[in-house]
Amino acid sequence: MNDDLQDAGLMVITGGGRGIGAATALLAARAGYDVCLSYRSDEQAAGQVAARIEAVGRRAWTVQADVSNEADITRLFRCVDNTGRRLSVLVNNAGTLETHMPVAEMTAARLQRVFATNITGSFLCAIEAVKRMAISRGGAGGAIVNVSSVASRLGSPNEYVDYAASKGAIDSFTIGLAKEVAMDGIRVNAVRPGVIYTDIHALGGEPDRVDRVAGMVPMGRGGQPQEVAEAIMWLASTQSSYTTGTLLDVSGGR
């Protein structure tokens, strides 16, 4: 550990091996956090992020965990406890979507997959974080940052209304949990990215989607993962100490 860096505690980032999660992890390390990353399947990518964290003098742990699986979340937070570090921040970043499809063609199985990861996984991770952060439970407070999407207010018609609906649930969850735990020293906020250059678009069957829709963005371009990560880091930091229950759009004006 590099003693020249401020010790900001431990940040847990789900889906931390790539995209927005990876960008957040690297900024967190530079800000003095040790980082625990979860990944669903790409162990190599998560390991590379961990190596970069350790290169700047912070500690990193990687945990294979599918957030749609409660047992995996339990294992993730068991690792958190075993680090011996104070949990300061949870970033609920892991998410999924499926191939573009109108609602009339969706199946119950598809809905269950999307909702289990995007909604239930975020709830369960937040539950574990609150148990460790809440002042009334012996914790020292902290911050939870949920990664939502501007799809929650745009609806994503003819593409993935199910994904948009799952992010709408995250918006409501953010507001409700923020009010519930405010007196326990925990702030809860969300970022709502617009079209960002990440691998998630390939899951929808259109890896080049950002370039296709960039013309709809008032700023005329897609966003970069680090631009979202900077917003996450602000919400996680004491610079936003009077901010909770807030939905922060990072969408180029869309």
| Positions marked active-site | 163
CA R_g for the chain: 17
Nearest-angstrom CA–CA distance, 170 and 186: 17
Rounded CA separation 7/58 (Å): 9
Q: d(Cα 44, Cα 46) in Å, to the nearest integer?
A: 5
Phi/psi region, residue 185 (left: phi>0; alpha: psi -120 to 50; beta: rest), is: left
Burial bucket for residue 119 (CB in 10 Å: 0-12, 13-18, 19+): buried
What is the token pair recorded at 123? 């709830």
HSE of 94, CA atoms in CB hemisphere, 13 A: 35
